[in-house]
Structure 1
Amino acid sequence: MTKLENEFDQIQEARDVIIRGIAQTMEFYGLTPSIGRIYGVLYFAETPKSLDEIKDEVAMSKATVSNGLRELLDTDMITKVWKKGDRKDYYIAVKDFFKNFINFFVKQLRQERKIILKAYNQSLPALEEIANNGQSEVAKEKAMKDIASINKTKVYFDWTLHLTDALETGEIFNYLPLSDEDEPKKGDKYNGY
């Protein structure tokens, strides 16, 4: 083996270590390690890759890779690109970890808010009816306590709405700056740096 070949092997080994690390951290985002490996391969790709190319590199079935790509697209961690004259879909990684974090976190917070507020809105009329017109004083008291708990929790959801807005606009970086040269300007939607 030549020195040049050895250098390329060392680069690939270093990349494999990073890909394994990315795969392990995907579980924090609710994704599987295999999806992390797919993302890792795209992260180091110098050109967009097709499903078949990715499948060969990660040694997974076409269905597994296809499902993984769909999940990565849903989390905005990869982008589908078009190559002129080719009918296949190609994919590239969004390499900005700040953007990936923001996209994921905002999506999760908005989903949490939507689900809980829907449940509250469905439950509140029944609780208010009992609190206002219930026959049992004990039931009235329980309903009023539940309404108070719901109203207290709405403060949290208002705060998370403000947080998601601050993440999306980049305002968060006014309070938690990246560094002087990399900070987005106030009011700019965060698009990476």
Structure 2
Amino acid sequence: MDNELKQIEESRDILISGIAQSLEVNGVTASAGRIYGVLYFLDKPMSLNEIKDEVAMSKATVSNGLRELLDIEMITKVWKKGDRKDHYIAVKDLVKNFVNFFIKQFKQERNLTLKAYQQALPTLEKIAKHGQSEETKTMAKKDIEAINDSNVYFDWTLRLIEAFETGEIFRYFPLTINKNKQDRGEN
């Protein structure tokens, strides 16, 4: 039994490392990914100190990781009767995690780029109309054209975000029930 328990713990360590690495590919810090992996395999809420001990990281690193995971809605803060400390559990709905993360990333990208466009466009338009040389006028016009061409992409990403937010995307890419769970009567 002890050998099997050790094997399960080793397997979980491998899985947790895989989760951390996959989240890191998507811009989540490795420490936050490891924290999420640990919480994912637990059936009970954990406090910051318990998580710190489990992942062997500093309190500041764990605190930052928890904040990051809360921000992207991959964990939830829960109340535990008789304890004033905050406790955390993983949101185990991976599709929901993906959708929340995806929406946040696309909105952030879109907002940053559009803000830059709004800041640069008046200057480019002024130079395109009143530039001192044909070369600078041509350069400004090309930049304005590039900005206008990119609006196709930003309109498309907005529609994609809306399809995820409304769930319409699942009409085209439906979720399928795991055959083994279906055979056991689980959903």
TM-score of the two chains, using structure 1 as the length reference: 0.86
1:189 matched residue in structure 2: none
Gaps of 5+ in 2: 179-186
2:151 matched residue in structure 1: 154
- Whether 1:166 aligns to 2:158 is no
Matched residue count: 179
SS at match of 1:147: helix
89-98 or 136-145, which deviates more: 136-145
Post-superposition shift, 1:174?
1.4
1:76 matched residue in structure 2: 73
Structure-to-structure mapping, 1:18-57, within 5 angstroms: 18-57=15-54
The one of 129, 134, 142 aligned to 1:132? 129
Post-superposition shift, 1:15?
1.4
2:82 matched residue in structure 1: 85
Post-superposition shift, 1:45?
1.0
1:17 matched residue in structure 2: 14
30-39 or 16-25, which deviates more: 30-39
Identity of aligned residues (%): 67
159-168 or 32-41, which deviates more: 32-41
The one of 47, 53, 58 aligned to 2:55? 58
CA RMSD of aligned residues (A): 1.7
Post-superposition shift, 1:98?
1.2
18-27 or 29-38, which deviates more: 29-38
Q: Following the alignment from structure 2 to structure 1, what is the Cα–Cα distance between the partners of residues 120 and 2?
A: 66
48-57 or 137-146, which deviates more: 137-146
1:187 matched residue in structure 2: none
Q: Following the alignment from structure 2 to structure 1, what is the Cα–Cα distance between the partners of residues 83 and 13?
A: 30
One-letter code aligned to 2:157? T
Q: Following the alignment from structure 1 to structure 2, what is the Cα–Cα distance between the partners of residues 10 and 134?
A: 71
Write out per-residue CA displacement over residues 108-165 of structure 1, whole angstroms, 9 at most, x where no aligned residue: 1101111111111111111112222334222222211111110001111111111111
Post-superposition shift, 1:175?
1.5
Gaps of 5+ in 1: 182-192
Q: Following the alignment from structure 1 to structure 2, what is the Cα–Cα distance between the partners of residues 24 and 143?
A: 42
41-50 or 17-26, which deviates more: 17-26
